Each structure stands twice: as C-alpha cells, then as structure tokens.
Amino acid sequence: MRRIILFTAFLFGLFFTSVQVFAQRDKSAKAEAAFNAGEYFVALDLYKAAYNTIEKDRKAEILYKIAHCYRLTNEPVKAELWYSKAIASFTKSGTSEPMAYYYLAEAKKMNMKYEEAKDDYKKYKELSADEARANDGIKSCDLAQKWIDNPSGYQVENMKFYNSKENDFSPAYASGDYGTVYFTSSREAATGNLIHGATGQNFSDIFVARVDRKGAWSEPIPLGENVNTEFEEGAPSLSSDFNTLYFTRCKKGKNESFGCQIYSVERDGENWGKDKPIEIEGDSIVVAHPAISSDELTLYFVSDMKGGLGGKDIWKVTRANKGDEWGTPENLGADINTPENEMYPFIHEDGTLYFSSNGHIGLGGLDIFKAKQNANGSWKVDNMESPINSNADDFGIVFQKDVEKGYFSSSRTAKGDDDIFTFNLPPLKYNLLGVVKDEKNDKPLAEANVKSVSSDGITVDIKTDKNGAFKMIMKANTDYVLIGSKEGYLNGKERETTKGLEKSKDFRTVIYLASIEKPIELPNIFYDLAKWDLRPESMVALDGLVETLNDNPKITIELASHTDSRGSDADNITLSQKRAQSVVNYLIEKGIAADRLIAKGYGESEPKTVDAKLAQQYPFLKDGVVLSEEYITKLPDLDLQEIAHQINRRTDFRVLRTDYTAKNN
C-alpha cells in the first residue's frame, strides 16, 4: 500500500550508515532499521539476504517481515505467498502469530479469493480476542462479491493522458471550467534525484495537465519551484476560487527527518507565490493530505498524532475568518476513523466528506467512502462500492461541483502502479414496459386504455398496441399509478415507483382486466364450517374488492355465495345467503353504497366450471369440466374429491349494471 506509507516513511527516522557497524554482528539489523524507517522497498531485499544467515528459530520472523514488506508495497499476490510461508514456519516451530492469518486474509481478499479469505479470518478469530475485526473481515468478503456482481451506475475509465508507468494519484481540479488538473506523480520529470525507500521510485511532485478547446490534454508538467522541491510534495487541494493551493511536503536532511507538513501558497498571476507552512503540530509529526472546505474555514487533514484511534486518522482544524490562525486539531471520531488507516479526505461543496479507508468494510485494500453528517453530529458512512472501488487500493477522489463526475486514483490493473481514473454517473433512466391482459385467459388486450397518474401531478393517457403492449418513460423519485380500462371490462390497476433507486431500471408490469360478461371469483374468502362469519383473512381479500368498486364507481354488483354438494339443498341455500350477506355488510362498512350491492345465495346449484387457470393449477382437472356431485364422486381418492369440493365453495360477483349514479343524500 504505497500510498499509505507515502508521507509517513520519515516519521520513524532514516536508515543511516551508522547501523552498518551493528549489522556486521547481526545482518538482520540492517533490514530492521530500513523497515522501521518505513523503507519497505529497501528492507525487502535486506530481509531476503539475511534469511540464510540467521539462526533457525528466527526464520519465521524474517518470513513474516518479508510478507509485511510486500503488503506495505502493495503486492498482495506476493504478500499472500509469504504470509503462507510465515504461517507454515511458525507452525513448524510450535509457535503462533494470529495477525499473520489476518494479513493473509487481507491479501487473499485483495486477490479476490473471498471464500479462502473467510477461512483465514475465522482462523484469526479462533486465535485472537479481536472478534469484531474478524467478523468485519468475513462480512466484507460477502459484501465484496455482492457489490462486484451488482455494480453501481458509475462509469469508470482510465485517464491515459495523465498516467505514466510510475505512481500517479490524488488529482484535484485547478480551474472553474475543470480544464486544469493537478495531481501527484513520481514520474521521471519529478524534481530532485532521490529515490524513495518505501516505493523504489522518485520522490513525488505535483504536476499539472490542461485540456484545450478541442478536448486534447497537454503533456503533464511539474509546478514551479515554489511548490516542488527536492523533497516530496503531493496531495493538492485548492480553494473554491482556485487562488490558494494546499499541499503536503515531507522534508528530510542528512541523518534526520522533519516529518510531513501542510503548506499553502497564494496565486501570483500565472504562477504561485511563496509557500508557507500551516502550523498544526510539531515538525516531527506527520500532517498530510489537506482538504479545504469551500468557505476555507475548515481544513481536513490526515495524521497519526497523539489522540487518534490508531493508524492514520482524519482530523480537522477550523477558524472563524480567512486570515485567522487555525484552531486546535479535532479528531473526526469513531464514525469516520478506525484502528486502521483513513486517508485522502475530500470535502464536497454540499458538505459530504469523501475519504479512503482500509478499516471500514470494503472490497480490499483502501476503499473510497462517503460520509454525511447527521443533525446530532454523527456521520453516516457508506462504501461507494464497485466500480469506484475494487479489490485494489482506491483513493484520492475529487468531484466537480454540481454533477456526479470527477477523478480518483487506484492501483487496479492499469498503465502504471497507481493510475488516475475518471468517473461519471450518467442520468438514471427508467422505462416501463407493460401489457394489458384478460384476467381469465391471460390473453393480451389490444386497444386498451392505460392512464398513468404520477405523484408529481402529471397524467398521461396511452393506448395498447395489437399485442396489448404499452411503454412509457418514468421519472426519478416518482410514484406511479397505472389504470387500465377497456369496454366490457372492469378497470385494473398497478403501481410502480422509482423512489430510492440508484440505478437505471426497466420496469415490466402486467395490468389484468376482468371481463364483466361472466362472474368474477373472489379468492381467499373463508368461513368456518357451517358458519357465515367472515374470517380475518377473508377481510383482507375483500379490501381488494373495495378498491375495485372505488375504481369502477358506475357498476352495481351481485355478491354470490356457493357451497359444495354436501348437506341438504335448503340448508345450503340458507347458509350461502347468509355468507353472501356477510360480504355485503363488510363492503357497506367500508363505505360502499348499499344500493350498489345485492346478496344472493346459490347453495350447491351452480357448481364451478373448470377454466384454463384451474386446470393448470390442478392437473387432475380438465378445462371445461363441471364439478358436479356426480363428477366429484368419481375422482379416484378422497384428497382429490376434497379439493374439488373446496373449489365449489366460493364467493364471486357479477356486474349487473354499468350506469350507476349515486343518489343524493
């Protein structure tokens, strides 16, 4: 993770030649000194050289440190290999290092071996008391696969114009037309001739690229000497008027280091004036990755200063007015910061904080997160998911002011080690593809009417084509009611909504219309044996009939109740009449006018005729068969007979008139 150690390698001091004397007595000491100085690229070869010369009981420790170097220089494939070797060596020697399993799991997650990673997180959980970290790791593997399989609507593209074979990262807009971009790079054109011990590349500088009127980008060039020096500069952030540049500089001298510090510089015509440090902490403390708010009264930054939650944390300082001194550093707290690393903050003009973290649940390595502050001061943090995030390190995001468009950095497979990518979120598109069908036979209804009534007050009338189909474009964050109608049919209704959707979607819906030529059965109308009181589940079903009557205010109906053939004719007539009346009474209670309703009990006199739907549901019944008592008694077993009797015990309604007019009260 080169960008995690960038601007922090100096915190531990440098690797000095004075160590060499001690190294003659212990060849691993030289590697240890380089590692403790944050120079993992240098330490890697030194550890490998020391491996064959040290005593046997220390070999597992050296393998473990080699694995650390690969992890910290962002080579997860090799890190996985060497953590596996270290674990095998620890096991052989009869010792255990729980964190080796955790780091192995982290490497496998970055290598997209999610199931294997979960096993190693579980092993870590068995060996350590850190149950929360293990559980988060297991959860992250499940979510990572889900996010990859269901990416967000963002479109991501490698920004080839900026990128080199070295590290290119942390972009920032430097003009109001977004045609000038600053970014950090360790390419050959960087100032100075020192090699970074943590990356094996040049010390980084801030570069600028511009786009011309034809959309062609210029060759990136380094900023002037008031910004770039022989030391390391990077992570630019500009004020909203683009006249003040904030950036990080890490200094070092012979046999000593000065940590990292944030500098600001004012625009002086076409160039930048004299830089000046922002005094936040002492010289030896790492203070890096500035992000300035649009009013320039809050400066967010990254540090591992005392008082943090572990690793690198995001902090802020504030001031009452421009030109005032900055106040006391304030940690953003446990909603944002974790025991791992939180870095590269960016504060959007709308107040949303974006940052990168390998401590929150993610896809692997650093992920980019967005955080919105609630009224009580807490933060709601969300992973930006795929394709913004990947199994590699993703960090350093920047947005344009009013659109979901910008740049971010990633170590995913691309042109160089770290590359800059562009992203944008195309406008969401919602299409509704519908069909109007006959409820009985499932056949499409041509020339049917569909009225769309949306929550924004817009009404649209549509006709179905010869296939009963219709289509329409839907708006974002809108509810829709779709009312289908056709002469000879009851109106049908469906609902759709685009509220809460973050991806484009094609909706498919079917509006069923019931013909008024034949009785329409009411499903799920149940009574206890020999009783006529409506059961609760029947009331739920009847609410649908209430809606139908309200949607078709000009119809009057007959409510018909039917029994099976068991029991006397007289008893069945009486029972069915009472059941039909119970339905009518319920509908009246729900506000339906009594003169629109007639109750009729038919007893066993009208057995059900099997239609295509029933025949499909019950293969032992044939389409067109009448479920008479004679037919039922010939069915081969009692279970089939009981099903047929249940089908006969039904409540349906038929439309009597379609010209009802409510009486005046």
Looking at residue 643, what is its pLDDT? 93
Query: Is the residue at 562 inside a domain?
Result: yes
Query: For residue 352, what is the domain's CATH number?
Result: 2.120.10.30
Looking at residue 417, what is its pLDDT? 81
Q: Contact at 8 Å (CB) between 119 and 138?
A: no
Alpha-carbon distance of 356 to 341, in angstroms, equals 8
For the segment 357-367, the average pLDDT, to the nearest whole number, is 95
Query: Is the residue at 392 inside a domain?
Result: yes
Looking at residue 291, what is its pLDDT? 97
- Residue 192 pLDDT greater than 70, yes or no: no
Alpha-carbon distance of 20 to 194, in angstroms, equals 21
For the segment 166-174, the average pLDDT, to the nearest whole number, is 94
Same domain, 265 and 362: yes
At which of 401, 424, 447 does a domain end?
Answer: 424
Same domain, 344 and 397: yes
Query: Is the residue at 629 inside a domain?
Result: no
For the segment 434-456, the average pLDDT, to the nearest whole number, is 95
At which of 116, 149, 182 does a domain end?
Answer: 149
Dihedral sign for Cα atoms in the order 304, 310, 313, 315 = negative
Q: Contact at 8 Å (CB) between 471 and 434?
A: yes
Looking at residue 415, what is its pLDDT? 57
Same domain, 535 and 582: yes
Same domain, 45 and 129: yes
Query: How many CA atoms within 13 Å lie on the side-chain side of 150?
Result: 8
430-438 vs 505-513, strand pairing mode: parallel
Could you tell me the residue range of the domain that residue 604 belongs to? 520-608+650-657
- Residue 76 pLDDT greater than 60, yes or no: yes
> With bands split at pLDDT 50, 70 and 90, how would you rate the model's confidence at 26?
low
Same domain, 263 and 368: yes
- Residue 19 pLDDT greater than 50, yes or no: no
Query: For residue 601, what is the domain's CATH number?
Result: 3.30.1330.60
Query: Is the residue at 624 inside a domain?
Result: no
Looking at residue 295, what is its pLDDT? 95
Looking at residue 298, what is its pLDDT? 97
- Residue 567 pLDDT greater than 50, yes or no: yes
Looking at residue 13, what is its pLDDT? 34
Query: For residue 489, what is the domain's CATH number?
Result: 2.60.40.1120
Looking at residue 514, what is its pLDDT? 93
Looking at residue 414, what is its pLDDT? 60
Query: Is the residue at 615 inside a domain?
Result: no
Same domain, 208 and 305: yes
- Residue 12 pLDDT greater than 50, yes or no: no
> With bands split at pLDDT 50, 70 and 90, how would you rate the model's confidence at 284?
low
- Residue 608 pLDDT greater than 90, yes or no: yes
The DSSP string of 512-565 is EE-BSSS-EEETT----TT--SPPHHHHHHHHHHHHHHHHSTT-EEEEEEE--S
Query: Is the residue at 412 inside a domain?
Result: yes
Same domain, 371 and 475: no
Tokens 């069909």 appear where? 435
Same domain, 367 and 503: no
pLDDT tens-digit series, residues 448-481: 999 999 999 999 999 999 999 999 999 999 999 9
pLDDT tens-digit series, residues 322-340: 989 999 999 999 999 999 9
**Interacting residues of 472 by C-beta distance below 8 A, sequence separation 6+:** 431, 432, 434, 452, 460, 462
Looking at residue 253, what is its pLDDT? 55
Same domain, 340 and 479: no
pLDDT tens-digit series, residues 285-318: 689 999 999 999 999 999 989 999 988 999 999 9
Query: Is the residue at 643 inside a domain?
Result: no
Looking at residue 85, what is its pLDDT? 95
Alpha-carbon distance of 6 to 10, in angstroms, equals 9
- Residue 532 pLDDT greater than 90, yes or no: no
Q: Is 256 or 653 the better-scoring residue by pLDDT?
A: 653
Same domain, 416 and 290: yes
Q: Which two tokens stand for residue 516?
A: 């008024």
Looking at residue 255, what is its pLDDT? 45
Q: Is 582 or 34 the better-scoring residue by pLDDT?
A: 582
Q: Which two tokens stand for residue 558?
A: 């007959």
What does the mean pLDDT of the chain come to? 89
Alpha-carbon distance of 110 to 391, in angstroms, equals 5
Alpha-carbon distance of 62 to 54, in angstroms, equals 9
Instruction: Identify the three-state secondary structure at position 215.
Output: coil
Residues facing residue 651 across a β-bridge = 522, 561
- Residue 61 pLDDT greater than 70, yes or no: yes
Strand 180-185: give its sheet, edge to edge.
Answer: 168-173, 180-185, 205-210, 221-222
Q: Considering its fold, how many domains does the chain have in total? A: 4
Looking at residue 597, what is its pLDDT? 96
Q: Contact at 8 Å (CB) between 450 and 464?
A: yes
Same domain, 473 and 562: no
Strand 353-357: give its sheet, edge to edge.
Answer: 342-347, 353-357, 367-373, 379-383
> How many residues does the structure list for the chain?
665
Query: Is the residue at 625 inside a domain?
Result: no
Same domain, 404 and 458: no
Tokens 């001061």 appear where? 377
**Interacting residues of 216 by C-beta distance below 8 A, sequence separation 6+:** none
What type of residue sits at position 480?
Y
Instruction: State the burial class of residue 19 (Cβ atoms within 10 Å of its Cβ: 0-12, 13-18, 19+).
Output: middle
At which of 513, 532, 557 does a domain end?
Answer: 513
pTM, two decimal places: 0.71
